[in-house]
Amino acid sequence: MFSYIFMKILEGRPRSYDKRMDKASRGKVRLAKEAVAGEIPEAAQVLEIGCGTGELASMLIARGATVNGFDASPAMVEVSLERIRDEGLKDRFSVQQMGVDGMDGLPGSSYDAVVSTLVFSELSEDERRFALKHSNRVLKPGGKLVIGDEVVPRTLMRRLLHTLVRMPMLAATYLVSQSSTHPIGDLAGELKAAGFTVEKESRSQGDSFALVVGLCQKGDLV
């Protein structure tokens, strides 16, 4: 349940990241990506926020999608580029190094879907607001935003358990990587505040992981 915290350590070994993260999470990270991919229509034009090693992009491409991804980590981008070469994805997957602060330079109303897995919990509240605003802007009307991420459980008992188990791991991770993740209090509410209609919210892993699907109703934002 709490192995997502170790992402910040495992990111230091990008070429073995997927295998190590899958092992640490007992397959939950891959299942989360498969759940995100399952929400995307076939042959969609997709933007991936924080594409990492390109694992989710590869799943989407297998479903007929074309993916443009970006990631702030140069090492992750390098691994994604290797995946493009090794899997022959040049015409279906492009990637660039940038953070969410570069999203204002992306063309409006250009994508059928925007996806992100375990990235928003690494962002500040302002960064999330910015990313959601521009996700809405770059989506075509009726397009989908699909986010899978760590969230704060909704009941007091689950929140207490979540905190008790999470804190030692959080401290150990910070000592090694000087960074961490922050469960999101109300992911669905943040999508609504950004102008999305929330079509779906499903919880798993002790209510600490959410898959949220939002529909773009506004098209281009000014």
pLDDT digits (tens, 9 = 90+) for 125-180: 999 999 999 999 999 999 999 999 999 997 766 666 656 565 545 434 333 333 45
Give the distance between the most distant pair of CA atoms in the chain: 49
137: containing domain: 3-216
In the chain, which stretches have pLDDT less than 50? 1-6, 8-10, 12, 168, 170-179, 219-222
Question: Does residue 222 sit within a domain?
Answer: no
Question: Does residue 176 sit within a domain?
Answer: yes
Question: Does residue 75 sit within a domain?
Answer: yes
Question: Does residue 16 sit within a domain?
Answer: yes
β-strand partners of 49 = 70
Nearest CA-CA partner of 189 in 142, 138, 154, 139: 154
Question: Does residue 221 sit within a domain?
Answer: no
Question: Does residue 204 sit within a domain?
Answer: yes
Spatial contact of 106 and 131, defined as CB atoms under 8 Å apart: no
142 contacts: CB under 8 Å, gap ≥ 6: 215, 216, 217
Which DSSP letter does residue 151 get?
A: B
* This prediction's pTM: 0.84
* Assigned token pair, 10: 């495992």
Number of domains in the chain: 1
Question: Does residue 64 sit within a domain?
Answer: yes
Query: CATH code at 56?
Result: 3.40.50.150
Nearest CA-CA partner of 118 in 150, 74, 146: 150
